Structure 1
């Protein structure tokens, strides 16, 4: 969970010295991309940038970095979170990418962020405060890539104590950088005068101002500390050569030495109550009244915080409501150093109270980060054992794995709970190959504890249910449905005797089993239980997955409206209980795929594409193979429905190949992509290719009855296309009663339609009409529509002639209108199973000229570049290139690259 206070820009103090000469330098201008504000601590970097942000009309994303952000995934989570917190939309997929356990997950997220910024076209400012804390080489390489490909309207500002190891020389040659170095940040004599007079409320003679300015070298923090230590008395401010030498040592060697020296005098000038408050709360990286009250055992923290704010005691507001604050880093470091030296036991107790407050107030990840930083491994083991399951099932399996790896191995090996957390984390990360030996190890440990009557023997027995549940999922990857089902049912018998919240995950597995057996009604019952228990157990990921599969089944059963309502109810529950704007919006492959299919079937392709979009980057950047196949299936189906047949063929071929090669890593049998691919081949006039990818009717390649039905329906379509209607009829006669009995209503409609076409080919027109009327009636009851437009041109014509559709009714009218529109997209030409190629403009002139971008794409195609290379050269997303190519093909009236180049030469658009 990200800490939202890190996204809060410090509010500008009206008393602070305005530095217009520097603010002007920060303003965006072409070709600048980067502001570098480099100086030691306490030179006013943050104040300067905050003042500038407050005055600029452009939207600003602010991120205050800390020691824990020097980790690749966390760093980019916070950068994306800063933009999201500040109102940039469309970043859900970027955040989701970072939860993937792959090497280039961060690269994909960065590319996605750049694409979103480019599409947004707003002049965003990104501020990264304390960038010197970033030392990781991979983060720095990522950041260099980010700057290199920034859209021209974006400006990044880095506030850092040191110059970062980035390709600054190259960027300076390109005039991308504005440098604000310590010499510029140092206060001028006039700014010193205004600082003491306006900010600190101290009137000093000009000679004293010049003296302090010279000794501090314009370092505002030293001036502020000096003023506070003197209590406003000039005689106290001037401490002679000793202070001057200390200041010089601090500035040249280590700022903390001088800050600790002056802080001693600051504390001595404060009341005991204020000094104690400062020391007691120094352990808090960020402060609010509730947190301070809890660790101090007092109820006056809000007043204390406001008092410190009014006294300029280095307290920086993080919001506009005086609720969240932080101390200046130098000030806090000195306070921590003081209390750890003077009262180490109390310092430890206060820190422990701070972490406990974070854990108790839902900031579990921040609390764990503090524990890891302190290297309190025993406490980390305890916290993970308590909270790890909820974190994993909330989608945070990768951080949990990282934390477990940071523990000493003996703590993990001696804890069955931690071993199971590691197993669950690897399971959700799809690293299934590593699970078998780990399961054997934890079983051995549990057996020893039971045999030795270990005090936690009862809890150890409870973990057996988790082990059985994992083994049931692994059995599914081996297509061992019986073992998977037996193990799941055993878990359900034992689960009421354990304290482990497993019912939602268990019922989800049971729903997968029933779905795999084609028992849709039983699957619905199990998945409804999974949703219900998931809500009780507060497992949003399980609720989304279970609800998504439930909607998928309801859709296939013909309850399209119910499926849509299921998705909406699940989404409302998740958004209500997990609506932290700093976190990526949880999505489910099953649910988004179901919504894509639902809206596609309702003939609302734009809405379908909206729900498909968050899934596409999972395919591009790598995802679990079962999810990969599902996403490619619905993606191909949408392309098929829209007449983009070549696009459909490409993604469905990929789905078939992935499903075949990665079968051992898929915990369920995904949809029959080969059956849909065969339909695409039929639509392009290649029945021989369609037949080749389907196998024979007796082929038992599918164990899921739904997939077997889908495959056989496609085989029947091929037979009809080959003018073998009798053979098709034999297959359909066997399928019809099974689909009716099992309420596979979508397939039932398709069976009736293809059956009707087969009968019509045999000249049995009356029987064909009866079949088609049954199909129309069943489809109207279920809400199916788009499937009619996907049938052969001959069948679509027969449907349009049905008298039942001539009767009044909204659905009838919508269906007829859709079929008429479809005629212009997939027009009949050479035969009943082919699609007309795009019409070529008459003569040697284009009806619509090519745009500049389309001409650029055409030239790069002519040079032989692939789509990805074109995207790189044009500095656009691959999807944008595809869109340009589709437009290009449409204007030229062609269907492939070679035709486009030939036509372009004929029109004089390319050199011969």
Structure 2
């Protein structure tokens, strides 16, 4: 800056930053730029366009660097100037010589504007200004070899696993056919590596005549699916289908597979189960591959197919097939190292786990988030479901402040127009958070938005019924029985059969003063003949039944129902199911001395009294050594007053088995006593908070 000021050059801070970036601290380069800037009418524009081809810089680099090199070194520098990065074998290919790596190392040691870019000093780049000058001199001295150099570079890079650079050099050579084959072979893989924007830029660089190649149209559809518009993606898929006869026989099998992948991905995002099932069959057949590239593409397509069909099945409440396909997709994604697919599968498996265990759901989603954060994808839409699930887990346990933080992250990554099923989940979770905070009118708006998103989905979303039920229950909490009745009439016949709808109907009957009708409505939930979607539904049913029994004067059965509800809530320290029903009075009168869940009961009464549970600072974490499913089941009972024998009775195992699991839990959590294990598990998010965390 002092040099610029001494020369009378006024440059903005951004302009100075650009100049320093272009010169990379090269003092002589800064001085040469300053000489040219002096008296220039537009210094900012000059800096923006400043390059090694600028006359003062070019003259200096020619005289002081390039012309001082032996002919063989000059040839190497000029012919490799087309590359962003160069290594010895690639330089040998472009120069037709050998020993290029040694020459590059010597140039770096001599500070001749050559810099290694890896610890092994096997890859190099040229100073930006020097590279500009070299390319200018190459075009001047050997214009006829430039295209051939790009073509040779494309071939070498493709063989050596650098498809993006290979495609760019094929495009620079004007070899559109080769570039098209390369991007068709590698575009899906690049997209799964988080390079969708790069694929879009590469597609945009093709000349107009190549834009209608069927395989390129499918890749454009993938870009649209993940970044822009489902409707435009559908248009590209339709175009690709119309141009399908143009695909050569040697490419037809691959094109057909990619077309099925694109259709399936679109069907999943639209929530179209029938269309997804039509497309998935061919993708799950054994892979027939002639080359490693074919095998890699086939594995990618199969993993994507398992992920997409698993997600659409899960949201369509096919709870046998969906999780099974997600587990298969996760296993294959781990085998072929596809973290994008791992994140999506883990996230939705976390949702499935939440139906029975908040701790297991946290583990699944924490793993998904850890992968996303490690790869810089924490704000990518693929992380939305895991983030929303973490929020849902905190809301379920009454940690509203912490849940809000997770939810804000989920909303920041959400793309409602591209994944309405995930967006429906986010709005639903926001509604539950607002209910927990007592902001009922705002909660109605979020549940309503979740219900409206069903209109853009072809199949019924698993949370649409619960969203309608939540609207009805929230109306009841606001004293609006008419609104609750109107909402329940919108339930489909299928939704009415679920336990969630029956609990809402029971709550309405209680509000109307008809305790007998409430008990009757709840019976199929309590005898397990009515299916349920959420883990807390049976707890709500038990508490509503207890309220009805209490009002009917049957205090014994009421207390028994409350204790059973606490039994179910204790393992995950569930709080939210008790907040949405009129249960405070019966909970306050529940005798603590006869309860095995005095701590949880105190937590519930604190939250019902308006004292939120404190959010403890932690990042997604798992135990130092993962607990088995059996150990997790035992762990959930440790905060209770139950003995090892009583826990064994609850789990239908022997007392010695429970004690063995407890010993393993202590070892894995690095603790010595039961209370320490509970505290450690809560720190790790494997258990909910205790009353000791209450302000």
Instruction: State the TM-score, normalizing by the size of structure 1.
Output: 0.55
Where does structure 1 lack aligned partners over 5 or more consecutive residues?
1-18, 26-31, 52-129, 131-159, 166-180, 183-219, 223-253, 828-912
- Match 1:382 to one of 177, 181, 185: 181
Correspondence for 1:648: 443
Displacement of 1:719: 2.7
SS in 2 for 1:518: coil
Compared with structure 1, are the counterparts of its residues 471 and 323 closer, same or farther at alpha carbon in structure 2 (3 Å cutoff)? closer
Residues 110-163 of structure 1: per-residue CA shift (max 9 Å, x gap) = xxxxxxxxxxxxxxxxxxxx9xxxxxxxxxxxxxxxxxxxxxxxxxxxxx9955
Answer whether contact 1:371 1:379 (CA < 8 A) is retained: yes
CA distance in 2, matches of 1:724, 1:331: 86
Correspondence for 1:692: 486
CA distance in 2, matches of 1:517, 1:35: 52
Correspondence for 1:682: 476
Compared with structure 1, are the counterparts of its residues 422 and 162 closer, same or farther at alpha carbon in structure 2 (3 Å cutoff)? same
After superposition, where does 1:170-249 map in structure 2 within 5 Å? none
- Match 2:605 to one of 807, 820, 825: 820
Correspondence for 2:424: 629
Displacement of 1:388: 0.8
Instruction: State the TM-score, normalizing by the size of structure 2.
Output: 0.70
Displacement of 1:308: 3.1
SS in 1 for 2:488: coil
Is the counterpart of residue 490 in structure 1 residue 263 in structure 2?
no
Compared with structure 1, are the counterparts of its residues 589 and 277 closer, same or farther at alpha carbon in structure 2 (3 Å cutoff)? same
Answer whether contact 2:499 2:524 (CA < 8 A) is retained: no
Greater RCO, CA 8 A, separation 6+: 1
CA distance in 2, matches of 1:778, 1:385: 53
Answer whether contact 1:682 1:690 (CA < 8 A) is retained: yes
Displacement of 1:427: 3.2
Correspondence for 2:351: 552
Correspondence for 2:226: 428
Displacement of 1:565: 1.9
Residues 307-337 of structure 1: per-residue CA shift (max 9 Å, x gap) = 4345453446779997876434443233223
CA distance in 2, matches of 1:460, 1:35: 47
Displacement of 1:694: 3.5
Is the counterpart of residue 588 in structure 1 residue 383 in structure 2?
yes
After superposition, where does 1:432-447 map in structure 2 within 5 Å? 432-434=230-232, 438-443=236-241, 446=244
Is the counterpart of residue 724 in structure 1 residue 485 in structure 2?
no
CA distance in 1, matches of 2:207, 2:415: 36
Compared with structure 1, are the counterparts of its residues 385 and 679 closer, same or farther at alpha carbon in structure 2 (3 Å cutoff)? same
CA distance in 2, matches of 1:320, 1:456: 40
Correspondence for 2:73: 274
Residues 62-105 of structure 1: per-residue CA shift (max 9 Å, x gap) = xxxxxxxxxxxxxxxxxxxxxxxxxxxxxxxxxxxxxxxxxxxx
Answer whether contact 1:552 1:594 (CA < 8 A) is retained: yes
SS in 1 for 2:583: helix
Residues 200-223 of structure 1: per-residue CA shift (max 9 Å, x gap) = xxxxxxxxxxxxxxxxxxxx999x
Answer whether contact 2:546 2:559 (CA < 8 A) is retained: yes
CA distance in 1, matches of 2:223, 2:413: 19
Answer whether contact 1:560 1:784 (CA < 8 A) is retained: no
Is the counterpart of residue 768 in structure 1 residue 553 in structure 2?
no
- Match 2:576 to one of 766, 787, 793: 787
Residues 660-709 of structure 1: per-residue CA shift (max 9 Å, x gap) = 4x345x8955443332233333334444434433336xx317x6789x54
CA distance in 2, matches of 1:24, 1:771: 85
CA distance in 1, matches of 2:99, 2:380: 37
- Match 2:587 to one of 791, 795, 799: 799
Where does structure 2 lack aligned partners over 5 or more consecutive residues?
34-39, 613-695
Answer whether contact 1:518 1:742 (CA < 8 A) is retained: no
CA distance in 1, matches of 2:534, 2:478: 28
Residues 793-849 of structure 1: per-residue CA shift (max 9 Å, x gap) = x413323544577556xxx3442232232133189xxxxxxxxxxxxxxxxxxxxxx
Answer whether contact 2:151 2:175 (CA < 8 A) is retained: no
Displacement of 1:362: 6.4
Residues 235-284 of structure 1: per-residue CA shift (max 9 Å, x gap) = xxxxxxxxxxxxxxxxxxx8349826972685443223432332233122
- Superposed CA RMSD: 4.7
CA distance in 1, matches of 2:370, 2:19: 48
CA distance in 1, matches of 2:104, 2:336: 38
Correspondence for 1:255: 54
Displacement of 1:389: 0.9
Answer whether contact 1:716 1:728 (CA < 8 A) is retained: yes
CA distance in 2, matches of 1:302, 1:667: 61
Displacement of 1:382: 1.6
CA distance in 1, matches of 2:66, 2:147: 21
After superposition, where does 1:460-471 map in structure 2 within 5 Å? 462-463=257-258, 465-466=260-261, 469=264
Answer whether contact 1:42 1:221 (CA < 8 A) is retained: no
Moved more, 363-372 or 558-567: 363-372
Displacement of 1:296: 5.6
Correspondence for 1:874: none
SS in 1 for 2:15: strand
Displacement of 1:588: 2.2
Answer whether contact 1:643 1:826 (CA < 8 A) is retained: no
CA distance in 1, matches of 2:23, 2:185: 43
Residues 153-202 of structure 1: per-residue CA shift (max 9 Å, x gap) = xxxxxxx995558xxxxxxxxxxxxxxx99xxxxxxxxxxxxxxxxxxxx
SS in 1 for 2:249: coil
Compared with structure 1, are the counterparts of its residues 352 and 399 closer, same or farther at alpha carbon in structure 2 (3 Å cutoff)? same
SS in 2 for 1:36: helix
SS in 1 for 2:16: strand
Residues 341-391 of structure 1: per-residue CA shift (max 9 Å, x gap) = 444565445434545566567665455455556654323312211111112
Correspondence for 1:508: 307
Answer whether contact 1:717 1:754 (CA < 8 A) is retained: yes
SS in 2 for 1:425: helix
CA distance in 1, matches of 2:397, 2:309: 30
After superposition, where does 1:53-68 map in structure 2 within 5 Å? none
Answer whether contact 1:317 1:324 (CA < 8 A) is retained: yes
Displacement of 1:790: 1.4
SS in 2 for 1:284: coil
Answer whether contact 1:256 1:330 (CA < 8 A) is retained: no
Displacement of 1:608: 2.7
SS in 2 for 1:37: helix
Correspondence for 2:636: none
CA distance in 1, matches of 2:160, 2:73: 26
CA distance in 1, matches of 2:558, 2:508: 18
CA distance in 2, matches of 1:737, 1:362: 59
After superposition, where does 1:23-42 map in structure 2 within 5 Å? 34-37=13-16
